[in-house]
A and B are shown apart, each in its own frame.
Chain A
Amino acid sequence: MRWWTFLLACSAVAAAVFFAACWLANDYYFFAGYTVLQFVVLATAWNILGGYCGYVNFGSAAFFAVGAYTTVFFHKALPLPIPALVLLAGIASGLIGLGTGYLTLRLRGAFFSIATLALAVVLQTLVVNWNYVGGSRGAYVVRPNEVALIGSYVQYLFLIMLALAVGALAVARAIERSRLGFGFATIRDDELAAEASGVPTLKLKLIATTLSGALMGMAGAPFPYYIGYLEPASAFGLPYAVNAIAMPMIGGTTSWVGPLIGALLLGTLQQVATVTISSAVNLLLVGLLLVGFVIVAPKGIVGLVQPYWGRKRKRAEPP
């Protein structure tokens, strides 16, 4: 499948999802669906660096929060439509990604992960002390009730997140089948050998951190409008970091399908648990599932299914 056929197919599925949700005529599905889709974007973004390159990022919440706070900032400074905010948030967190990459990518393995964790702490401290965006009090972002042509505002947000999810999946899939993806795989398998073969490893890793960071920020951009009130503790919350790692791990990190499956599964499960049991049980669920999968299926759901499905799927040749 060419990338644009894939994009079309994805958009068709997305449209079907949207109209199905409209037909159910219950705003709750849009609220719940938005959260699930947000995790699809986050998980896919994490996987570009964590799955393809093998660099585990514990700071997903930081990139997400950068996106959200970009929105808060512009909401006060210069009100813009959400698609523009998404773009700006992508640029802001992409730059943060690039900078983080430049500073930390000489570290490998656990050291890199700890550095990303530190990034989240540093950024949170900055935001807490930045009065303009609300500091530790948090910031109110009042959303309009309706949007022309689409209807209720939450439907509009849902649509935006749907588009972002389609975009993120298309990007991930395109990377996987390109020379860039092969370069990423060499970094994951053996960085020294990659360098010796002339793969520009630092450049590729910077591309990965920038792309991954930008996508995470974009996922965070509509969030203040969704939640209405944003405070640092929730924007930088542990659930984002944990979910962004757990979802690709459970789905499978080697292909774009993995984070999608993981996010749909875990995201839906968490929504169901929130309604039926309590929202506090969410992280426990994620943790238990993660432990279970690491023991039973370390390659995730994709790795579990692959041997039975298309025994030798033809790999794209590097052009």
Chain B
Amino acid sequence: MDNSIVIDGIDAGYGSVRVLEGVSLEVRGGETVVLLGTNGNGKSTLMKSIMGMVPPRAGRITARIDGVTHHLTGRTTEEIVDLGVALVPEGRRLFPRLSVEENLLLGAFRPKARAQIRTNLAFCFEAFPRLAERRSQLAGSMSGGEQQMLALGRALMSAPRILLIDEPSVGLAPVLVSRTIDKIRELKERYNLTVLMAEQNFPQALRIADRGYVIVHGRIEFEGKSADELNNNDLIRKFYLGL
């Protein structure tokens, strides 16, 4: 199935602050696309715009899900989740006072997802055996790596076609970052997901990226048609290494 997302010249911001200026990008079916940029360049805002949490002021976002094209602009977040787009928010954002299992069940709050809650829960526990062991533990009492797994699992509970992941490496030890990235690749292959991942950790993100964009001050400054093209690029050296 063809699950893709096209962002066409969107502007977005908060109050009088304009964060995104004419951002266009595309994630084609089955790809893993990374959105690279340091703090404060608009990565999370772009993710929230796609989810309808920060409605874009101009431009269009369309998603093709199971062969049907939908306009995402102007829809509420609930509707977008219903269509099959899920977000793993930055900093995990679990419900710390609820158990692991309750966190997962809440990922399937929408009626559509609730219909297949048992199968999805079984999938989640299969993909993350650690979560099955800890199903009755409070989410807030787990380690950072486990919490990131739970955040991924919760997003999968809505049975998404397109998965948006906002900075999965935040607050994790280096070894856990690479494990999380491996897990994302594994999930993507197993569930045939289309993935858009915002990340600062350039080398880790490129390990699983098919393509990527570099966002600087709310504009897409560079589009890399392959991981290699991103790897050997002067602009990126300039932004990341200050050379």
B-side interface size class: 20 to 34
Confirm or deny: A307 has a beta carbon within 8 angstroms of a beta carbon on chain B. no
A282 to chain B, nearest CB (A): 33
Interface residue? A195 (CB, 8 A)? yes
Q: Mark A191-214, 1 if CB is under 8 A from B, else 0.
A: 011111111100000000000000
Chain A count of residues within 8 A CB distance of the other chain: 20
Q: In the complex, A198 Cα to B110 Cα: how many Å?
A: 6
> Do A196 and B89 contact each other (CB < 8 Å), given the known contacts A183-B109, A315-B102?
yes
Residues of A191-244 at the interface with B, using a CB-CB cut-off of 8 Å, are: 192-200
Q: Is the CB of B95 within 8 A of A189?
A: yes
Are A190 and B93 interface neighbours, CB within 8 A? yes
A186 to B87, CA, bound (A): 16
Contacting pair A198 B81 (CB below 8 A): yes
CA separation between A179 and B94, bound complex, in Å?
18
- Of A189, A195, A200, A318, which contacts B97 at CB under 8 A? A189
Partner pick for B53 among A190, A195, A200, A315, CB 8 A cutoff? A195
Nearest CB on A from B15, distance (A): 12
Residues in A with CB closer than 8 Å to B93 are 190, 192-193, 196
Contact, CB under 8 Å: A186 / B95 = yes
A185 at interface (Cβ–Cβ under 8 A)? Answer: yes
Which chain A positions have C-beta within 8 A of B88?
Answer: 196
Cβ A198 vs Cβ B95 within 8 A: no
User: Which A residues are CB-close (under 8 A) to B94?
Assistant: 189-190, 193
Asked if B169 is at the interface (CB within 8 A of a chain A CB), the reply is no
Q: Which of B87, B106, B136 meets A318, CB within 8 Å?
A: B106
The contact of A189 among B77, B98, B109, B154, by CB within 8 Å, is B98
Q: A198 touches which one: B89, B98, B105, B113 (CB < 8 A)?
A: B113
Interface string of B66-107 (1 = CB under 8 A from A): 000000000011100110001111000111111100100111
Q: Does B4 contact A (CB under 8 A)?
A: no
Residues A182 and B82 in contact, CB atoms below 8 Å apart: no
Q: Is B51 part of the binding interface, using a Cβ–Cβ cutoff of 8 Å?
A: yes
Does B120 have its Cβ within 8 Å of any Cβ on chain A? no
Which residues from chain B contact A194 at a C-beta distance below 8 Å?
Answer: 95, 106
Contacts of A185 in B (CB 8 A): 95, 97-98
Could you tell me if A197 and B107 are in contact, using CB atoms closer than 8 angstroms? Answer: yes
Residue B158 CB within 8 A of the other chain: yes
Give the distance to chain B from A302, nearest Cβ to Cβ, in Å: 14
Q: Please report the C-alpha to C-alpha distance between residue A315 and residue B51 in the assembled complex, in whole angstroms.
A: 31
Give the distance to chain B from A105, nearest Cβ to Cβ, in Å.
15
Cα distance, A183 to B105, chains bound together (Å) = 11
**Considering residues B77, B86, B110, which has the most beta carbons from chain A within 10 angstroms of its beta carbon?**
B77
Instruction: Check if A198 sits within 8 Å of B77, measured CB to CB.
Output: yes
A315-B135 Cα distance, complex, nearest whole Å: 13
Bound-state CA distance A317–B51 (Å) is: 28
Give min CB distance, B185 to chain A, whole Å: 22
Q: What is the CB-to-nearest-CB distance from B108 to chain A, in angstroms, rounded to a whole number?
A: 8
**Which residues of chain A (163-187) have a CB below 8 Å from chain B?**
179, 182-183, 185-186
Do residues A182 and B106 form an inter-chain contact, with CB atoms below 8 A? Answer: yes
Chain A residues whose CB sits within 8 angstroms of the CB of B77 once the complex forms:
195-196, 198
User: Would B102 and A198 count as touching, CB distance under 8 A?
Assistant: no
Note all chain A residues with C-beta closer than 8 A to B99. Answer: 315
Interface centre among A190, A193, A194, A312 (most CB of B within 10 A): A193
Which of A189, A192, A200 meets B76, CB within 8 Å? A200
Chain A residues lying within 8 Å of B106, measured Cβ to Cβ, are 182, 186, 194, 197, 199, 318
Task: Write the A283-319 contact mask toward B (1 if CB under 8 angstroms, else 0).
Answer: 0000000000000000000000000000010010110
**In the bound complex, do residue B89 and residue A317 qualify as a contact, i.e. CB atoms below 8 Å apart?**
no
Interface residues in A50-81 (C-beta closer than 8 Å to B): none
Asked whether, in the complex, the Cβ of B97 is within 8 Å of the Cβ of A197, the reply is no
In contact, A196 and B102 (Cβ under 8 angstroms): no
- CB-nearest residue of chain B to A204: B109
Can you name the residue of chain A whose Cβ is closest to the Cβ of B139? A189
Asked whether, in the complex, the Cβ of A196 is within 8 Å of the Cβ of B51, the reply is: yes
Question: Given the complex of chains A and B, what is the CA–CA distance between A199 and B109 in angstroms?
Answer: 6
* Contact partners of A179 in chain B: CB under 8 A: 109
CA distance A196 to B88 in the complex (A): 7
**Which residues of A are interface residues toward B (Cβ below 8 A)?**
179, 182-183, 185-186, 189-190, 192-200, 312, 315, 317-318
Q: List 7 A-B contacts (CB under 8 A).
A: A189-B94, A192-B93, A196-B53, A196-B87, A197-B81, A197-B157, A312-B136
Instruction: Rank and list the top 10 A-B pairs by shortest CB-CB distance, nearest first.
Output: A198-B81, A193-B93, A189-B95, A198-B110, A196-B87, A200-B78, A196-B89, A199-B109, A195-B77, A190-B93
Known pairs A197-B81, A197-B107, A198-B78 / 7 extra A-B pairs, C-beta < 8 Å: A182-B109, A186-B109, A190-B94, A190-B95, A194-B95, A194-B106, A197-B158
